[in-house]
Amino acid sequence: MAANSNSNDQGYELTFAGKGLARAMADSPTGYELKTRWDQSKDFDNTANVVIRGDNLDVLKILYQNYFGKVKMIYIDPPYNTRGENFVYKDDFRQSDASLIEEFGMNEETTDFLHNVFGTRSHSGWLSFMYPRLKLARSLLTDDGVLLVQIDSNSSHSLKLILDEIFGESNFKEEIIWEYRTGGMPAKSNCFGKKHDTIFAYSKQSSSYQFDNKSLKERIYYENDFFGCQTDAQGRYYVDVKVRDIIGGDIETVENGEVKILSVKPLINMSKERIDGFATQKPSGLIKFLAKFYLERNERQVLLDFFAGSGTTGDAVMQLNAEDGGNRKFILVQSDEEIDPEKSEAAHKYCTDRNIEPVISSITLERLNRAGEKIVGGGVNLQM
Ligand SMILES: C[S@@+](CC[C@H](N)C(=O)[O-])C[C@H]1O[C@@H](n2cnc3c(N)ncnc32)[C@H](O)[C@@H]1O
């Protein structure tokens, strides 16, 4: 199986410990297969939406068999390589890729070295984790498809270089800034307060790349009248412009003449949408905003998120379809990572109270079931 990557003809690339193995991991077969959990499914015959529980490296390899070249948009928000703690998502290549190690002719010393690298907070460990997944992700995209990866400043520089390598530099399309903090920040040791994540967008193939939601504009107000300004009912001067690539807070959008407030505000403790114990949960408004640009409303196009977390992407797709009668589909992948009762007491209690396994994928499924019910008319509070 070849994950069909774009070759680098620029003469430079990022090297890191374990890169050869990481490359090969994308191409090695998986021994796993998918099994439908009818007991956990709802409206299976009518909805084409899917949640897959498992390690996304294996799942991407399985999806490769049926979804090669079929996914229009991929959005991922991977675990960040925070400098403060060890990277907990390392691949246990000792077990799953024993044959690969044999193939690479590694000795125990090298394997031990890589094993440690994969488990530390080093850039090499994080990049080794991401590399095969990004390579497989590219192969799933349609020719006009797009991959969006959200990241912070600890890894944006190295991520950009491996994306350039896997997708080809000419397929780099956007660097979108999401301001997750628009207010002030308590004084800390850093000189400037950290307030944004970066979202990189790469096309599969520049010549076929499809994006523009031409009907979506941003409304900007001005104090004074100037050339091109219009006046609204309250006498304010405004211009409807292309949406900016720096987004934050509440954006006033205009779609087919209709003015709406789209909130891409971070979810603070009091937010209705926020699930307790999910510090990394993103607002569904952010994903709705991105999906509006890249997915055709009615074409049954698929949005894949293989670091699904609390299931924001699925919730966003359902909300968007409910709002505009669209027919977009989603596939989410989330591992059965255990919920730490100390860090996420409420989410853990939620699971144990209901006799469901205290793993993150339980929360993903629960949120989506509730979001689905809400849209059908149940009126459900998503807080836990
Ligand atoms: C930053 S969070 C995503 C948060 C999500 N965007 C949301 O709004 O809730 C990353 C998620 O990826 C999951 N994850 C990490 N490694 C994984 C793997 N190998 N396979 C599947 N999921 C994984 C983690 O359990 C975590 O829930």
Torsion of CA 120, 122, 127, 129, to 10 degrees: 0
310 lines ligand 1 (CB under 6 A): yes
For residue 307, report the distance from its CA to the centre of ligand 1, in Å. 4
In the sheet that 237-241 helps form, which strands lie side by side, from edge to edge? Answer: 230-231, 237-241, 216-222, 250-255, 258-263
State the Cα–Cα distance between residues 310 and 279, nearest whole angstrom.
Answer: 10
Q: Is 383 a residue whose pLDDT tops 70?
A: no
Distance 156 CA to ligand 1 centre (A): 18
Could you tell me the two tokens for 14? 């990022």
pLDDT in tens, 106-123: 766 777 777 776 666 678
Nearest atom in ligand 1 to the alpha carbon of residue 80 is 1
What is the mean predicted confidence (pLDDT) over 231-241?
94
pLDDT tens, residue by residue, 262-290: 899 988 878 888 887 788 899 999 999 99
Token pair for 286: 């952010």
Closest-CA residue, ligand 1 atom 8, reads: 281
Residue 203 banded pLDDT, cuts 50, 70, 90: very high
The CATH number for 45-88+135-376, chosen from 3.40.50.150, 3.90.1200.10, 3.40.50.920, 3.20.20.70, is: 3.40.50.150
- Cα(263) to centroid of ligand 1, in Å? 23
- Pocket flag, ligand 1, residue 282 (CB < 6 Å): yes
Q: Which amino acid is residue 189, in one-letter code?
A: S
Average pLDDT, the chain: 86
* 82 close to ligand 1 (CB < 6 Angstrom): no
Cβ–ligand 1 contact at 126 (below 6 Å):
no
Distance CA 12, CA 230 (A): 50
Ligand 1 pocket, residue 348 CB under 6 Å: no
Whether pLDDT at 73 is above 90:
yes
Percentage of the chain exceeding pLDDT 70: 85
Residues 69 and 140: their CA atoms lie apart, in Å, by 5
Q: Identify the residue whose C-alpha is closest to ligand 1 atom 26.
A: 309
Strand 237-241 and strand 230-231: pairing? antiparallel
381: pLDDT confidence band, cut at 50, 70 and 90? very low
Cα 209 from Cα 54, distance rounded (Å): 31
Please report the pLDDT score of residue 31 as a whole number: 85
- Average the pLDDT over 93-108 and give the result: 63
How are beta strands 230-231 and 216-222 bridged, if at all? Answer: unpaired
